[in-house]
Amino acid sequence: MSTVVLVYSGGLDTSVCIPLMRDEYGFSRVVTVTVDVGQPAEDIRQAEERAHTLGTEHTTVDAKAEFIEQYCWPAVQANGDYQGYPISTAIARPLIALKAVEVAKQIGADAYAHGCTGKGNDQFRIEYIMRTLTPDLAIIAPMREGRKMPDGSRSPWTRTEEIDYAEAHGISVPQTRDKIWSIDENLWGRSIEGGHLEEPDYSPPEEIFQWTRGIADTPAAPANVEIGFENGVPVTINGEALSPLDLVSRIHALAGEHGVGRVDVMEDRMLGLKVRENYECPAAVTLLTAHRALEALVCTQAELKFKSLVDREWGEMAYKGLWYDPLKEDLEAFILRIQERVCGTVRLRLWRGSCIVVGRRSDWALYNEDLASFDSKTFDQSESVGIVKTHGMQSRMYWALRNRSK
């Protein structure tokens, strides 16, 4: 009996994959795996119901705590960002693939399947993990490989064709021909794409947003919140110690209520395609803002300059899903050393879609009020004269030579 493990979200792409595994690929046993990294409970329930209706052996893995502690927290320490938005979907995919690998090993599966298209990033992230940990298992990607035509050739699937196929096989899915956008959610972020949302000049309708209020609907008064950090990881809200899951959930709700976390970007995908993406990341935007402020207080100028390069490289590797790459481990060795001093508190004001730092404090602060204050005489300002005279000496010499040649 041939067995395939299908990474299953319960959405259109992966639901269509179930009958395809039997009818076109000949698998007699289809095992679906849904990994809970913070999707709505109703989505998890519907995925379980669809899997049962479609006759698969189904497993749901609760990985929310692991996702925050092993994936989101490293992203905070590395100021995880890609082209202007907090990395969210990208850091969940390696964990989802890892759980599918664990199930495949337990049941002795022959192959994996997923619903990623040939245009997107997820095919790279998921298959990298599978090939790294179980290189001998086959990987099937029906949406990428295309539908089988009468002459034996394959033609790429369109979203409309997938909906038609789903209807023909009695599969109930949330997408319609009018609202065809695709939504991916986890505890760190929510991405919305597809349909008219792909057009760079299309104004997204308010109805696509679920986590953040529109500016007109936010409270009139701002919210002030204090985030406490230890080793670069948030641990308290307003002095109250919380579990990682509770802390993210609370910041998520508070920031979203004040409209914080909407991001609209033109994103360069791994294949070179430039696409328009909409994200909601209220907790991520808030916590990353606080973390950067605290790093700016405790790190030297040279450390901050170098870490910006390290963070960018880490972000690109995380975006590509290269979770086990040795360079990523090397970068994290530097990041973690820096985080030993990223301890303290940051006060933020959330209001009308903005997240503004209004104060920060740390025992490791590289700030001395007596030296920095204009009212202090501790720093002998006359000693700056010699330094100022030599400032830019070579460029001044160049300028003199250039003017002489005219």
97 and 37 co-located in one domain? yes
Q: Domain boundary at 162, 180, 198, which?
A: 180
Q: What is the pLDDT of residues 129-157, one digit of tens each?
A: 999 999 999 999 999 998 888 887 888 88
Q: How confident is the model at residue 181 (pLDDT cuts 50, 70, 90)?
A: confident
Domain that residue 399 falls in: 373-404
pLDDT of residue 29: 97
Q: How confident is the model at residue 85 (pLDDT cuts 50, 70, 90)?
A: very high
Question: What b/e sequence results for 213-250 when a residue is b if at least 16 CB atoms lie within 10 Å of its CB, and e otherwise?
Answer: beeeebeeebeebbbbbeebbbbebeeeebebeebbbb
Q: How confident is the model at residue 163 (pLDDT cuts 50, 70, 90)?
A: confident
Q: How confident is the model at residue 113 (pLDDT cuts 50, 70, 90)?
A: very high
In a domain, 241, yes or no: yes
**Is the predicted pLDDT of residue 158 greater than 90, yes or no?**
no
30 and 131 co-located in one domain? yes
How far is 322 from 320, CA to CA, in rounded Å? 6
**Is the predicted pLDDT of residue 197 greater than 80, yes or no?**
yes
Counted domains in the chain: 3
11 and 83 co-located in one domain? yes
293 and 313 co-located in one domain? yes
20 and 83 co-located in one domain? yes
In a domain, 387, yes or no: yes
In a domain, 368, yes or no: no
Q: Domain boundary at 180, 204, 235, which?
A: 180
Q: How confident is the model at residue 119 (pLDDT cuts 50, 70, 90)?
A: confident
7 and 144 co-located in one domain? yes
C-alpha dist (Å) from residue 15 to 104, 116, 166, 353: 19, 12, 8, 36
The mean of the pLDDT values for the chain is 93
**Is the predicted pLDDT of residue 173 greater than 80, yes or no?**
no
36 and 138 co-located in one domain? yes
**Is the predicted pLDDT of residue 169 greater than 90, yes or no?**
no
In a domain, 244, yes or no: yes
Please name the residue that has the structure tokens 């990623």. Answer: 116
Q: How confident is the model at residue 103 (pLDDT cuts 50, 70, 90)?
A: very high
In a domain, 60, yes or no: yes
pLDDT of residue 180: 64
pLDDT of residue 374: 61
How big is the chain, counted in residues? 406
162 and 131 co-located in one domain? yes
In a domain, 253, yes or no: yes
189 and 169 co-located in one domain? no
CATH of the domain at 144: 3.40.50.620
In a domain, 366, yes or no: no
Q: What average pLDDT score do residues 267-294 get?
A: 96
22 and 167 co-located in one domain? yes
278 and 352 co-located in one domain? yes
% the chain with pLDDT above 90: 80
In a domain, 71, yes or no: yes
Q: How confident is the model at residue 365 (pLDDT cuts 50, 70, 90)?
A: very high
Query: Could you tell me the pTM of the whole model?
Result: 0.91
Q: Domain boundary at 125, 158, 180, which?
A: 180
273 and 381 co-located in one domain? no
**Is the predicted pLDDT of residue 177 greater than 70, yes or no?**
no
Q: Work out the angle between the directed axes of helices 282-298 and 244-257 (0-180°, nearest 10).
A: 110
pLDDT of residue 157: 85
Instruction: Report the catalytic residues.
Output: 13, 93, 122, 182
Q: What is the pLDDT of residues 53-74, one digit of tens each?
A: 999 999 999 999 999 999 999 9
Q: What is the pLDDT of residues 285-339, one digit of tens each?
A: 999 999 999 999 999 999 999 999 999 999 999 999 999 999 999 999 999 999 9
CATH of the domain at 287: 3.90.1260.10
pLDDT of residue 172: 79
